[in-house]
Structure formats: structure tokens, C-alpha cells
Amino acid sequence: MTMARYDLTATDTQGNVISGASVEVRREIPGQPLAPLYSDRAGTTPAGNPLTTDANGDAGFYCAGGAYQIVVTSGIYSKTRRYVAIGLAQETDAAAEGLIQRTHIAAGTVTVTNDDADIVVVKKTVGAATPVELPDPSTATKPVRIVDGKYDAATNNITITSLGTSKTIMGATSYVIDSNGGSIKFTPLEDGSGWF
């Protein structure tokens, strides 16, 4: 597998480069394990983790694409960067997969149709709970991802239901996005009885 490259220059709060700083890289997944780093694009030569910045305050590495936490430490100075996106896809780049996205900003129910975008971002101009209606899964031909683009679903839940008689979503009558920035991808069941 070809690895993604990431380079950084460690600086203090005044913008001075920090040589000899420790650079620790962790995956942004539960448990935040140390990330496997490499010194070559092919991923055949492991690099240490943490790394140490050179005389110019520079450090660089190759790793698999994804989201990372990078912590630079030198003496009492420490700076943490969360959810650093590295690589082509960087978690959810729709363009890299060739997916179509639409953003819904109007008030009221968001209706998803069979020929709708692959990703529907709910980003209303006003804060309010949002109902989303998926098409009848027996006629749907592709998955759809629903995303909280306003980052307020913890307060203004997004409740997703399906058109059609007795259709289920994840085995229930509805599914609720109730975390800020939350998203979920729904795929129609092969037998048309619901979405998973």
C-alpha cells in the first residue's frame, strides 16, 4: 500500500522553531493507539514514534490515510492538534470516492429521493429538530449518508424515518442522530423491508 506523507515544523507561541522536540502521533480512534509511522512511501521501513524534530524544527513521516492526533512537546511546552487529516480520503472526502453531495438549508422535513445525492448534509439556517424521510427501501437502489452539517444535533436531533408501509431503520421505526456533527450511512436491505 502507498502511504501518505505528512510534514510539520514545530514552533513555539512566538513562532520560533523548536529543534529536538518530541512529535507523538496517535490514531483518532478509541484508545488512541500510537500510529505506525514509516520513513518511506512504500511503508517498508518503520520510523520511530515519537519522532524528534531536526535543527530546523522539521519532522516528517509516512502513514496510512486517516485522522490523527499529533502532540509536539519540548520542555514545558506542549501543543496538541486533534483530528489532523492525512492522506487523499482523510476520513470522509466525498470527492475522492466520486460521490455527490447536497446541502439542505431550508426549514421543515428533508425528503430524500431515489435519485438524490449520495450524501445529504443537514445544515439549516435556523436551529430546530429535523425530520428526514428516506425513500421506500423496496424501490431504493443505493445507500445514502445523512450528516449533521450544522453541528447542533445534540440539541436539535435529526430523526430519520422511511417511506413505505412497516419499513424499518436499523430494525426500528426511526433512527436519531443526536451528536453534534454525527452522520450515518443507510443501505437498503436486499429484501426491501428496511434500511441498515
Residues 77 and 32 in one domain: yes
CA distance 67 to 115: 31
State pTM to two decimals.
0.52
Q: Are residues 107 and 48 in the same domain?
A: no
Residue 32 has pLDDT above 90, yes or no: no
Q: Please identify, among 27, 54, 86, the residue that sits at the C-terminal boundary of a domain.
A: 86
Q: Do residues 82 and 99 both lie within one domain?
A: no
pLDDT at 96 over 90: no
CATH of the domain at 99: 2.60.120
Q: Binning pLDDT at 50, 70 and 90, where does residue 98 land?
A: low
Whether residue 6 is predicted with pLDDT greater than 80 in this model: the reply is yes
Quick one: average pLDDT of 183-194?
92
Range of the structural domain that residue 133 is part of: 94-195
Residue 45 grid coordinates: 521501513
In the predicted structure, residue 129 carries a pLDDT above the cut 70: yes
Considering the domain architecture, whether residues 135 and 190 belong to the same structural domain is answered as yes
The pLDDT assigned to 94 comes to 46
Q: Are residues 145 and 184 in the same domain?
A: yes
Regarding beta strands 101-104 and 119-122, do their DSSP bridges make them parallel or antiparallel, or are they unpaired?
parallel
If asked whether residues 80 and 101 sit together in one domain, one would say no
C-alpha R_g of the chain = 22
- In this structure, how many other beta carbons lie within 10 angstroms of the beta carbon of residue 40? 12
Last residue in a domain, options 86, 112, 136: 86
Identify whether residues 142 and 166 lie together within a single domain: yes
| Counted domains in the chain | 2
Percent of residues, the chain, with pLDDT higher than 70: 94
Q: Give the C-alpha separation, 166 to 193, whole Å.
A: 8
> How is 92-160 classified by DSSP, letter by letter?
T-HHHHT--EEEE-SSSPEEP-TTS-SEEEE--SS---EEEEEPPTTT--S-EEEEESSS-TTTS-EEE
Q: Does 100 share its domain with 186? A: yes
CATH of the domain at 34: 2.60.40.1120
Phi, psi values for residue 28, rounded to 5°: -90, 65
